Amino acid sequence: MLRIAIQAKGRLNEDSLELLSEAGVSIENGKRKLLARSGDFPLEVLYLRDDDIPQAVSMGVADVGVVGLNEVEEKGFDVETVHSLGFGKCRLSLAIPKAEAYDGLGYFNGKRIATSYPAILSRFFERNGIEAEIHEIAGSVEIAPSVGMADAIFDIVSSGGTLVTNGLREVETALHSEAVLIAGRTLSEEKRQLLAQLLFRIEAVERSRGMKYVLLNLPHEKIPEAIRILPGMKSPTILPLAQEGWSSIHVVINEKELWTKIEQLKAIGAEDILVLSLEKMIR
């Protein structure tokens, strides 16, 4: 049995459970439960505060965990970052009052900086030769300059709307973060095999995102042109139709390129084009 720690509530909780579901791992309703078990994969979920997850994994209380890279970097526990998951993206940035002039990192010398991430900020300042007063506070970091607690802040930024609301502007980014899958360094061979199985499923789900399965009919003589337009994962699948002189082409296309490719195919005579959602892509 593999035990995975995920955030007890919040956006990472929802995204983590959705990813597990897409990977064929259904979880019992975990509301008001510390532990919940999957009925179709040897896995149980431990619900924790996000900032407790790195420690739980390093201690072996959980075998693996889903947590923001920012928490991994801040806590500094000895864990292995196994896989970047692509959701929960944000950045840790320095922000100053919007009326202040800014001419580079030297601005922060001698300044007071409020943050919930003192370890990350200390390392960033050390790398850049900045000497500043770092004040650790929990929550509502963005109000610190307006109430006189600090000259600037270092905090998580997603859209930047909270900074604007509080009269601040982002000037430097120290870390780009997203949800990551972490693991303890002393997992047994059996648990490493279960982790590999889970990763296999997760990667199949990830590869399918933003991809479409396209089927179309095309005259035989246009196939070389279609192949130039539509390189597949290896090459398009081509099947002859009952109607003489025609073939069916099957291919996977990135959704960002979909309409451009369809227009190019129509221009060379493609007909009866079907676009289907792609659930999993297994290699």
Domain range holding 229?
210-277
Looking at residue 103, its pLDDT comes to 93
**Number of domains making up the chain:** 3
- Amino acid code (one letter) for 173: T
- Does some domain include residue 282? no
**Distances in Å between the alpha carbon of 175 and those of 43, 209, 283?**
32, 25, 32
Cβ burial 32-44 (10 Å sphere, 16+ → b, else e): eeeebebeebebb
- Amino acid code (one letter) for 240: P
Q: What are phi and psi of 68, to 5 degrees?
A: -70, 140
Looking at residue 170, its pLDDT comes to 95
Looking at residue 232, its pLDDT comes to 54
The string of DSSP letters for 255-275 reads GGGHHHHHHHHHHTT-EEEEE
Q: Would you call 276 helix, strand, or coil by DSSP?
A: strand
Domain end call among 154, 188, 207: 207
C-alpha distance across the termini of the chain, in Å = 25
Mean pLDDT by 10 residues, the chain (283 residues): 93 92 84 82 94 96 97 95 95 94 95 96 96 91 90 91 91 96 96 96 90 92 89 75 91 89 93 88 76
- Does some domain include residue 283? no
Strand partners, 156: 92
Q: Measuring CA to CA, which residue among 41, 78, 42 is closest to residue 183?
A: 78
**Distances in Å between the alpha carbon of 176 and those of 165, 193, 239?**
22, 30, 46
Model confidence pLDDT, tens digit, residues 38-60: 989 999 999 999 999 999 999 99
Looking at residue 45, its pLDDT comes to 95
Residues 192 and 227 in one domain: no
- Amino acid code (one letter) for 108: F
Q: What is the dihedral of CA 185, 188, 191, 197, to 10 degrees?
A: 80
Residues 214 and 251 in one domain: yes
